[in-house]
Amino acid sequence: MLAPVQAFDFREESSALNNNISFIRESEASYYGSDGYLHFAQPGRNWLSQSQKLAVSPWIQVMAFAATTGDILAPDGTSTACKISEEIKTGEHRISRIVPVPQGQPVTVSMYLKAGTRSKIQFSFSDSTSFTGGNPTVKLDLATGTFIAASSNLISYKAVNSGNGWWRLQLTAVPDLGSTSGFHVYILNDTSTASYAGVTGKCIYAWGAQMEPGINMTAYTPTAENAYMGLRYNYRLSDTAPLLAGALIEPESTNLVLYSQKLEGTPWRKQAASTPLSTIKSPDGETFGYKIKENTASSTAHYIVPNPTITTEAGNTYTVSAFFKAAERTWVYFNVSGLTIHFDIANGIVGNKSSIFIGSAVENAGNGWFRCAATFIASSSNTSTVIGCEISNGKQSYTGDGTSGVLIWGIQLEKATAMTSYIRTNATPVTRKADIVTLNRPSASNTSDVFTQRIDGGTWIKQTSSNYQIEQSENEIQLINFYDSNVISSEHEDIAVNLFPEKFVSVGNAGTMVSMFDKSYMTQTPNKEWSLQKATNKTSPLYRAVVNAGEVWSGDYTNKYRERSEFYMKGAQMPYDQDVWLSFAIKIEPGEALTLEPSDFCYLGQFHASEDEGDISSPPVLGFRLEGLDTFKAFTCSTTVTPHTISPKSFLRGTSQFTRGIWHKNVMRIRFSPTNGQFQWWKDGVELVNISNIGIGYPDETGPYWKFGIYRSPMPQTVAVEYANMEVQYNTSLESRITEPLLIV
């Protein structure tokens, strides 16, 4: 496989500085961590690991020793402050860190310091060879916050009074000569000298070190084993161990719900319910969830609703979400302007829903919590968002028992087409600012093709000659690779498939609606998990159909001599005497050759007649059959008789070999007519068939409809087929797909 000229892999958390990644986000933002809890990332960065545990590696102690002490509280009120004591030796008494830095760019270091039995300190960058003029340095008296001295090569410096004797000290400078630096904190004696004979019991206090890019000191971000590089590495939670999904690089969004995790006050109106604070920890592992507790009112709904009603913009798309945990009740619902969607929060699945909801999702939030979401188009300038518990799917009106309910926390309403990361609020709406992440292009390349893979699919951007700003999305970024721009399209597909093989999940039981581009399909399936599946990690609509011996769709129970797993285009009959374009890629998976009797068949796609009253069920007006190992045949069928009571004969119109395990891209132009039909077929850019003045179809009132998947007579062999980029058009041409097929990524 072709190697990238530059790669950024976000499937592993990075604690190392990467000068090729630029990151900005001007607010906090949430993510799921490797510990299985929800966390809130701060807007800055902290290149230092172990920012508070100053006694452990990689901290360096020179004629000084650090120890966590409970005698003095840290600035955040915890017992995590460190006492830095000087040893009874002559020399410098300091703690230090060594950190790689971006040469030629401003760097800011900060730390909380407090006077002990010593009050004077020297704070400086390290590695004098990286700075013109040596180490940028200040001396400070911690007793008063007064600077004693400062070097001229500092861009800025300051001491911020942080209360209880603590000062947050900041230095900013540019390492113009090198890319290695860090900092020192020296204890000074009473004459402000750094090298002296240590004295028993002399010390200062320190806590919360931070090193970051730029000229501004941002809010302190604590770290443990790993540095914090700003990116949110988001984990998917389940009953097993958390799994790293990638980096969250999201657009701006605002939570319009006030007091999103404080439900006891007047901003929340309660109907036949109360919201006591529970003793169950919320998804963040620190705060506690609330309970929607039903009262004993009879034949009524038990719910909460924001008060006052939230202002929205009619015609715009919004998503409402909340964290739930099952208690005595296991079903919850959202009621948006009188229409409902229901969720099973014991199993994390969507129940009944109104057609107002154009999207829904359930996210495992760990420890029995689920985050449920529903997307809708606002119909007015004010939107009521009722949230309640219920006794079963769709049964929200009942007589309560006075104690039962569900746990709830973290409610969000945002102007967005899908649920984004949780934004906590108090008295006002809160906006999560956008993540702005820019990748430096390879320095040795004039132009590059950029492959991006998210958790839900990949994309290619061709011929870029500048630094690449990552597009924001609610789905995690996993990988971004730069390739030489002379890579051809087939190599693009190979790269995407080799790096990220398809991950298939069931599309659901028979009757499930599925969208592909601008068309809707309904499933006809034996309801096996493998019958009809979708690739969840591909941007291209990529589906898989499988039929084993004896697998029958319920609609065929009256005719057991059929086995099928198909999608059919619902409510979209094709026109007569007009060009209809069909474009798709197909891959027949390796398997046994089919041994067919003359009456046997195995269709992989078909245009099915819309039969009039009195018509006998007949073969497809245009069908594509698999025969033997890899023979793909196109048949047409027609009659002018109406109604027709004798099944017409099918005619072979074209044959090709479809090598198993390989994608083959097809484009077809069809004109349906019982007497004046036309059929053109291109496979992998080469024309195979071009015939006209043939019969394709029956004289039905409405034209045929498209189906694809597997439809066959009973046989012992398993057949598995993948389809990608299925397009059907009759108002526009797909001729361009012949030479420029859609990529499968």
How many domains is the chain built from? 4
Q: What confidence tens digit (pLDDT) does each residue in 258-305 have?
A: 999 999 888 999 999 999 999 999 999 999 999 999 999 999 999 999
Q: According to the model, what pLDDT value does residue 16 have?
A: 76
Contact (Cβ atoms closer than 8 angstroms) between residue 552 and residue 508: no
Contact (Cβ atoms closer than 8 angstroms) between residue 47 and residue 18: no
Q: What CATH number should be reported for the domain holding residue 170? A: 2.60.120.260
For CA atoms 187, 190, 195, 201, the dihedral sign is negative
Encoded tokens for 10: 């976000």
Question: In 10 A of CB 685, how many CB atoms?
Answer: 12
Residues contacting 624, CB < 8 A, separation 6+: 603, 604, 605, 606, 632, 633, 634, 635
- Among the candidates 500, 521, 553, a domain finishes at 500
Distance CA 502, CA 479 (A): 15
Q: Are residues 331 and 404 in the same domain?
A: yes
Is 179 in a helix, a strand, or coil? coil
Closest CA relative to residue 317, chosen from 256, 378, 359, 379: 378
The whole domain housing 374 covers 253-432
Q: Are residues 529 and 652 in the same domain?
A: yes
Distance CA 428, CA 654 (A): 66
Q: Are residues 583 and 684 in the same domain?
A: yes
Angle CA(598)–CA(655)–CA(492) in degrees, nearest 5? Answer: 130
Residue that the structure tokens 């500085």 belong to: 17
Distance CA 339, CA 358 (A): 12
Q: Are residues 408 and 459 in the same domain?
A: no
- Among the candidates 378, 400, 432, a domain finishes at 432
Strand partners, 159: 169
Burial grade of 109 (CB within 10 A; 0-12, 13-18, 19 or more): buried
Q: Are residues 551 and 514 in the same domain?
A: yes
Contact (Cβ atoms closer than 8 angstroms) between residue 453 and residue 500: yes
Contact (Cβ atoms closer than 8 angstroms) between residue 389 and residue 331: yes
Q: Are residues 473 and 539 in the same domain?
A: no
Has residue 26 been placed in a domain? no
User: Could you tell me where the DSSP H helices lie in 589-743?
Assistant: none
Q: According to the model, what pLDDT value does residue 228 have?
A: 87
Has residue 32 been placed in a domain? no
Closest CA relative to residue 547, chosen from 565, 561, 534, 524: 565
Can the peptide bond before residue 58 be classed as cis, meaning omega within 30 degrees of 0?
Answer: yes
Contact (Cβ atoms closer than 8 angstroms) between residue 250 and residue 422: no
Distance CA 708, CA 721 (A): 10
Q: According to the model, what pLDDT value does residue 225 have?
A: 87
Residue that the structure tokens 């090193």 belong to: 211
Angle CA(347)–CA(353)–CA(357) in degrees, nearest 5? Answer: 115
Encoded tokens for 352: 């009944």
Contact (Cβ atoms closer than 8 angstroms) between residue 642 and residue 648: no
b/e 469-496 (16+ beta carbons within 10 angstroms → b): ebebbbbbbbbbbbbbbebeeeebbebb
Q: Are residues 464 and 520 in the same domain?
A: no
Closest CA relative to residue 94, chosen from 200, 219, 195: 195
Closest CA relative to residue 694, chosen from 673, 721, 710, 724: 673
Q: What is the DSSP string of 323-383?
A: EEE-SS--EEEEEETTEEEEEETTTTEEEEE-TTEEEEEEEEEETTEEEEEEEEE--SSEE
Instruction: Write phi, then psi, for 379 (nearest 5 degrees).
Output: -105, -5
Contact (Cβ atoms closer than 8 angstroms) between residue 294 and residue 273: yes
Q: Are residues 95 and 8 in the same domain?
A: no
Strand (E) or helix (H) holding 685 = none
Q: What CATH number should be reported for the domain holding residue 554? A: 2.60.120.200
For CA atoms 612, 618, 623, 624, the dihedral sign is positive
User: Rg (Cα) of the chain, in Å, rounded?
Assistant: 33
Distance CA 243, CA 301 (A): 38
Q: How many CA atoms does the CB half-sphere of 281 hold within 13 Å?
A: 10
Q: Please indicate, yes or no, whether the overall pTM of this predicted structure exceeds 0.95.
A: no
Contact (Cβ atoms closer than 8 angstroms) between residue 212 and residue 44: yes
Q: According to the model, what pLDDT value does residue 365 have?
A: 97
Flag whether pLDDT at 99 surpasses 70.
yes
Residues contacting 577, CB < 8 A, separation 6+: 671, 672, 673, 676
Contact (Cβ atoms closer than 8 angstroms) between residue 109 and residue 158: no
pLDDT band at 521 (very low <50, low <70, confident <90, very high): very high
First to last CA, the chain: 16
- What Å distances lie between residue 489 and 464, 499, 582, 615, 741, CA to CA? 16, 16, 21, 47, 9
For CA atoms 723, 728, 732, 738, the dihedral sign is positive
Please give the sequence-ordered ranges of beta strands (E in DSSP) within 579-684, or none if there are none: 579-588, 602-608, 622-627, 631-637, 650-657, 664-671, 673-683
Q: Are residues 273 and 393 in the same domain?
A: yes
Has residue 139 been placed in a domain? yes
- What Å distances lie between residue 223 and 126, 208, 210, 220, 483, CA to CA? 21, 9, 9, 10, 35
Q: Are residues 593 and 687 in the same domain?
A: yes
Burial grade of 609 (CB within 10 A; 0-12, 13-18, 19 or more): buried
Contact (Cβ atoms closer than 8 angstroms) between residue 570 and residue 521: yes
Encoded tokens for 596: 């067919």
- What Å distances lie between residue 723 and 370, 495, 704, CA to CA? 33, 19, 21
Q: What confidence tens digit (pLDDT) does each residue in 179-224 have?
A: 999 999 999 999 999 999 999 999 999 999 999 999 999 989 899 8
Distance CA 585, CA 724 (A): 5
For CA atoms 398, 402, 408, 409, the dihedral sign is positive
Q: What confidence tens digit (pLDDT) does each residue in 415-465 have?
A: 999 999 999 999 999 999 999 999 998 876 688 999 999 999 999 998 888
Q: According to the model, what pLDDT value does residue 561 have?
A: 82
Can the peptide bond before residue 43 be classed as cis, meaning omega within 30 degrees of 0?
Answer: no
Has residue 153 been placed in a domain? yes
Encoded tokens for 446: 């004039």
Q: Are residues 626 and 516 in the same domain?
A: yes
Strand partners, 206: 82, 113
Closest CA relative to residue 374, chosen from 362, 383, 365: 362
Please give the sequence-ordered ranges of beta strands (E in DSSP) within 609-663, or none if there are none: 622-627, 631-637, 650-657
Q: According to the model, what pLDDT value does residue 445 have?
A: 67
Has residue 219 been placed in a domain? no
What letter does residue 594 receive in the DSSP assignment? B
Instruction: Write phi, then psi, for 737 (nearest 5 degrees).
Output: -70, -15
Mean pLDDT calculated for residue range 479-486: 90
- Among the candidates 413, 432, 451, a domain finishes at 432
Closest CA relative to residue 75, chosen from 185, 207, 266, 270: 207
Contact (Cβ atoms closer than 8 angstroms) between residue 341 and residue 362: no
Provide the mean pLDDT of the chain: 95
Distance CA 418, CA 319 (A): 6
Q: What confidence tens digit (pLDDT) does each residue in 352-379 have?
A: 999 999 999 999 999 999 999 999 999 9
Has residue 692 been placed in a domain? yes
Contact (Cβ atoms closer than 8 angstroms) between residue 572 and residue 578: no
Mean pLDDT calculated for residue range 12-40: 90
Q: What confidence tens digit (pLDDT) does each residue in 27-42 have?
A: 999 999 999 999 999 8
Q: Are residues 244 and 302 in the same domain?
A: no
Distance CA 699, CA 674 (A): 6
